[in-house]
């Protein structure tokens, strides 16, 4: 089993889904300190005039004193309306209706204000739309025998070993965090994923790289997006 472990991000960029596509199982890493003003409660889309702006999910308890698993959305209905409102200028994009429905589905009120659950529903909805398998576990629900505190580079080999993973893949930007022998000593093959973000047509707007997956889906059909994931990815051995 090749494992990926990432924090629960809000409609993350395309490279996040490349990592999902190149792993067999996924751990939503929600057991450490929450960090406000990160990709966990916001992301970027095209601005109606030029550049980009944020879509965000306000929290009722945004604080470094909580764990990520404890983060609660302030008002889900309001957050959904805000996100959809900041997507209305995409109406001329060829797949606007499909993406609007995806956001509606992901952010529907299910009586649970958990930010983690909200973001996971977003990942599920996108993967289902693209036809990508998404076999995930939420770390705080696994009851793994993990220490309360570990150095940043130790969480991945420790969790991978606890779950019996034979391989672990991480975005190449985090390469310096990891000690390959920490994986090798546990019989885990460590790889890094390099992703070259594609350039695509965005109608009358100016292309901005690295925006939310919502932007990619507005302009490209699912088959084209999956092709981008495959062609833009390189796996590098540790």
Q: What is the pLDDT along the chain (238 residues), one digit of tens a residue?
A: 999 999 999 999 999 999 999 999 999 999 999 999 999 999 999 999 999 999 999 999 999 999 999 999 999 999 999 999 999 999 999 999 999 999 999 999 888 999 999 999 999 999 999 999 999 999 999 989 998 789 999 999 999 999 999 999 999 999 999 999 999 999 999 999 999 999 999 999 999 999 999 999 999 999 999 999 999 999 999 9
Contact 17, 216 (CB under 8 A): no
Place of tokens 């003003």: 37
pLDDT tens-place string over residues 19-51: 999 999 999 999 999 999 999 999 999 999 999
Question: Could you say which DSSP state residue 108 is in?
Answer: -
Contact 121, 93 (CB under 8 A): no
Within 8 A by CB and 6+ apart from 208, the residues are 44, 46, 51, 52, 215
Distance CA 58, CA 95 (A): 27
- Residue 111's pLDDT is 87
b/e per residue, 12-45, with b = 16+ CB within 10 A?
bbbbbbbbbbbbebbbbbbbbebeeeebbbbbbb
End-to-end Cα separation, the chain, in angstroms? 17
Distance CA 166, CA 177 (A): 20
- Residue 148's pLDDT is 79
List strand residue ranges (DSSP E) for the chain, in order. 2-6, 25-28, 42-46, 52-56, 136-138, 167-171, 189-195, 233-237
- Residue 149's pLDDT is 83
- Residue 78's pLDDT is 95
Angle at 125 between CA 122 and CA 128, to 5 degrees: 145
**Other Cβ atoms closer than 10 A to 220:** 21
Q: Whole-prediction pTM value?
A: 0.96
pLDDT tens-place string over residues 160-171: 999 999 999 999
Which CA distances in Å does 104 have to 55, 79, 219? 14, 11, 18
Contact 26, 3 (CB under 8 A): yes
């Amino acid at each position: 089993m090749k494992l990926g472990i990432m924090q629960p991000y809000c409609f993350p960029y395309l490279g996040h889904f490349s990592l999902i596509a190149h792993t067999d199982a996924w751990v939503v890493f929600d057991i450490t300190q929450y960090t406000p003003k990160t990709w966990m409660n916001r992301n970027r889309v095209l601005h109606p005039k030029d550049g980009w702006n944020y879509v965000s999910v306000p929290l009722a308890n945004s604080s470094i004193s909580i764990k990520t698993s404890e983060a609660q959305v302030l008002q889900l209905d309001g957050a959904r309306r805000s996100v959809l409102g900041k997507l209305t200028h995409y109406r001329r994009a060829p797949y606007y209706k499909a993406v609007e429905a995806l956001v509606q589905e992901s952010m529907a009120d299910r009586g649970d204000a958990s930010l983690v659950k909200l973001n996971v529903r977003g990942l599920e909805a996108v993967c289902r739309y693209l036809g990508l398998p998404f076999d995930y576990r939420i770390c705080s629900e696994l009851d793994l025998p993990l220490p309360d505190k570990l150095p940043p580079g130790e969480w991945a080999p420790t969790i991978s070993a606890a779950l019996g993973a034979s391989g672990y893949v991480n975005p190449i930007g985090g390469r310096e965090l990891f000690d390959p022998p920490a994986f090798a000593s546990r019989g885990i093959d460590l790889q890094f994923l390099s992703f070259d973000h594609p350039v695509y047509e965005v109608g009358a707007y100016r292309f901005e790289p690295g925006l939310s997956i919502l932007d990619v889906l507005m302009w490209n059909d699912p088959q084209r997006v999956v092709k981008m994931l495959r062609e833009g990815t390189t796996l590098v051995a540790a």
